[in-house]
Amino acid sequence: MKTQVAIVGAGPAGLLLGHLLRAEGLDVVLVERASPDYVLGRIRAGVLERTTTDLMDRLGLGARMHAEGLPHDGFHLADGERLIRIDIAALTGRQVMVYGQTELTRDLMAAAPERGLEILYDAADVALHDVEGDAPYLTYRKDGSDRRIDCDFICGCDGYHGPSRQAIPPSVGTAFEKVYPFGWLGILADVAPCNHELIYANHARGFALASMRSETRSRYYIQVPLDEKVEDWPDERLWDELAVRLGPEAAAHMARGPALEKSIAPLRSFVFEPMRHGRLLLAGDSAHIVPPTGAKGLNLAASDVAYLSEALVAYYRRNDRDAVAGYSSRALARVWKAERFSWQLTRLMHRFPDNDAFDRRMQLADLDYIASSTAAQTSIAENYVGLPL
Ligand code: RFL
Ligand code: PHB
């Protein structure tokens, strides 16, 4: 098989990129290791920046998102005693959209056939070849036979564990990494949210987050040590802990229900530079990971593919090779600022095992400063809604 652009991975980065390139008339094939059901079964991001919702609108795929998503004008930071509201709409003129990654992915998958976007699911042993030359290709196994796709470019949208980043020789790339000594235990339940906006709480016992997917479906998280298991947290224990950490105001309105999903995700900050090697271009989690505290992961995947689709279109329309060459530095400038925000908010809101009483007082002083300073709130708000492309 031959195509112009082969994309490894059909998560949000790969699907969005595929649609953006198809909309410009390019030939694209996506190769995905998992099945469609598996891709849709992953419960992940919940908050979309305007840059991400704009991309869906540009593709003409935003209708369900606008009908069912919840636009939010603000969110809260809690310090164990009070809620500090960050009024993002008043401070930045922008909102964020609460719409699950699962739903966004579903919309992109559903529109693929009618837009001529080919997605090959259940592809095993995907391998990248000759990315340094002018004729790269992919090999994989599907339905018991070995297959090959020749292309002009390979886009690595295969997440943190995928093969694309590994295809860049260690001598060419640098990985920057910070691993945090805790994870997030998440619960999804069909109960009304405890508050109409998100609450990020820093409690002496550790971080908690109250989020949602709709007016009848809630998503909550608590910080847990890395050696903790989901089985250690029966639903009632988790609801009790959330009630303590989120504080009395939220607890009073918190409805409990059986878990539809419960899982623990480790937290990591990670950036791989450069995001291009020859004709291989990385986008999304394959090139960078942020801790979920800033709600930036999916949104960074979206901004990467906005830049990447522009670069590839410039190449095919105007034979502009500089745009492809410049993709990595353009994307990384935005990536590092989102890394900074996510790292800072993670440090502000979590309990670190080696924190002493002084560190705790610093966090509380920081939160008290934020509560009293419009400048501090504006800085948080403009990062939360997403920096301009
Ligand atoms: P994905 O979603 O991991 O998709 C990669 C795809 O590549 C496939 N793949 C392969 N395909 C072929 N061959 C191989 N060998 C392959 N190996 C892997 C995979 O099957 C998969 O389909 O990466 P992508 O597209 O870059 O998207 C990134 C986002 O998924 C991620 O950044 C967000 O989920 C992060 N995130 C959040 N981001 C936000 O913007 N807002 C949030 O509120 C938010 N909350 C979260 C999050 C991530 C979380 N977890 C579980 C890590 C909350 C959580 C708990
Ligand atoms: C979520 O709803 O899953 C969610 C929301 C905000 C975050 C992280 C996750 O910062």
Mean residue pLDDT of the chain comes to: 97
Q: For ligand 2, atom 7, which residue shows the shortest CA distance?
A: 295
For residue 224, name the pLDDT band (cuts at 50, 70, 90): very high
User: pLDDT for 294-314, tens place per residue?
Assistant: 999 999 999 999 999 999 999
Beta-carbon contacts of 231 under 8 Å, excluding residues fewer than 6 positions away, are none
DSSP state of 114: G
Tell me, rounded to whole angstroms, the distance of Cα 187 from its chain centroid: 18
DSSP state of 2: B
The answer to whether the CB of 218 is under 6 A from ligand 2 is: no
Q: End-to-end CA distance of the chain: give it in Å, rounded.
A: 35
Q: For ligand 1, atom 36, which residue shows the shortest CA distance?
A: 45
Position 318 scores a pLDDT of: 96
- Assign residue 172 a region: left if phi > 0, alpha if psi is -120 to 50, beta otherwise? alpha
Ligand 2 site-directed mutation target among 102, 209, 267, 298, most atoms within 8 Å of CB = 209
Q: Can you give 211-252 as a three-state secondary structure string?
A: EEEECCEEEEEEEECCCCCHHHCCHHHHHHHHHHHHCHHHHH
Position 306 scores a pLDDT of: 98
The CATH T-level fold of domain 5-54+100-176+268-345 is: FAD/NAD(P)-binding domain (3.50.50)
Q: pLDDT at residue 44 above 90?
A: no
Q: Which class for 64: exposed (0-12), middle (13-18), buried (19 or more C-beta within 10 A)?
A: middle
Q: How far apart are CA 165 and CA 160, in angstroms?
A: 8
**Arithmetic mean of pLDDT, 216-220:** 97
DSSP string, 17-57: HHHHHHHTT--EEEE-SS-HHHHHH-----EE-HHHHHHHH
CA of 100 to the centre of ligand 2 (A): 9
Position 1 scores a pLDDT of: 95
Q: pLDDT at residue 151 above 90?
A: yes
The answer to whether the CB of 262 is under 6 A from ligand 2 is: no
Residue that has been written with the tokens 């989020």 in this structure: 211
Of 32-36, 78-82, 113-117, 356-360, give the lowest mean pLDDT range.
Answer: 78-82
CA of 46 to the centre of ligand 2 (A): 5
Q: pLDDT at residue 95 above 90?
A: yes
**Arithmetic mean of pLDDT, 74-101:** 96
- Whether the Cβ atoms of residue 16 and residue 285 lie closer than 8 Å to each other: no
- Which ligand 2 atom sits closest to the C-alpha of 43? 3
Position 80 scores a pLDDT of: 84
Smallest CA-to-CA distance from 164 within 265, 1, 277 is with 277
DSSP state of 143: T
User: pLDDT for 337-375, tens place per residue?
Assistant: 999 999 999 999 999 999 999 999 999 999 999 999 999
Q: pLDDT at residue 81 above 90?
A: no
The Cα diameter of the chain in Å comes to 64
Q: Is 328 helix (H, G, I), strand (E, B) or coil?
A: helix
Position 204 scores a pLDDT of: 94
Q: Is the pTM of this model over 0.95?
A: yes
Packing angle of the helix pair 321-349, 357-372 (nearest 10 deg): 110
Question: Which amino acid would we find at residue 133?
Answer: G
- Which ligand 2 atom sits closest to the C-alpha of 200? 10
The bound ligand whose nearest atom lies closest to the alpha carbon of 47 is 1
**Arithmetic mean of pLDDT, 269-273:** 98
Q: pLDDT at residue 42 above 90?
A: no
Q: pLDDT at residue 190 above 90?
A: yes
Ramachandran angles phi, psi of 272, nearest 5°: -110, 125
Position 43 scores a pLDDT of: 82
Q: Give the chain's count of helices (H) and strands (E).
A: 12, 20
Ligand 1 site-directed mutation target among 285, 288, 290, 383, most atoms within 8 Å of CB = 285
- Which ligand 1 atom sits closest to the C-alpha of 186? 55
The answer to whether the CB of 51 is under 6 A from ligand 2 is: no
User: pLDDT for 320-341, tens place per residue?
Assistant: 999 999 999 999 999 999 999 9
The answer to whether the CB of 293 is under 6 A from ligand 2 is: yes
The answer to whether the CB of 47 is under 6 A from ligand 1 is: yes
Q: pLDDT at residue 246 above 90?
A: yes
Residue that has been written with the tokens 């500090």 in this structure: 84
DSSP state of 208: E
Length of the chain in residues, anyone? Answer: 389
- The two structure tokens encoding residue 265: 């995700």
Beta-carbon contacts of 76 under 8 Å, excluding residues fewer than 6 positions away, are 83, 84, 85, 86, 195, 197, 198, 199, 200
Sign of the dihedral defined by the CA atoms of residues 296, 300, 303, 309, in that order: negative
> How many other β-carbons are positioned within 10 Å of the β-carbon of residue 114?
7
For residue 243, name the pLDDT band (cuts at 50, 70, 90): very high
For residue 283, name the pLDDT band (cuts at 50, 70, 90): very high
Peptide bond into 169 cis (omega under 30): no
Domain-wise residue ranges, the chain: 5-54+100-176+268-345
The answer to whether the CB of 195 is under 6 A from ligand 1 is: no
Position 45 scores a pLDDT of: 87
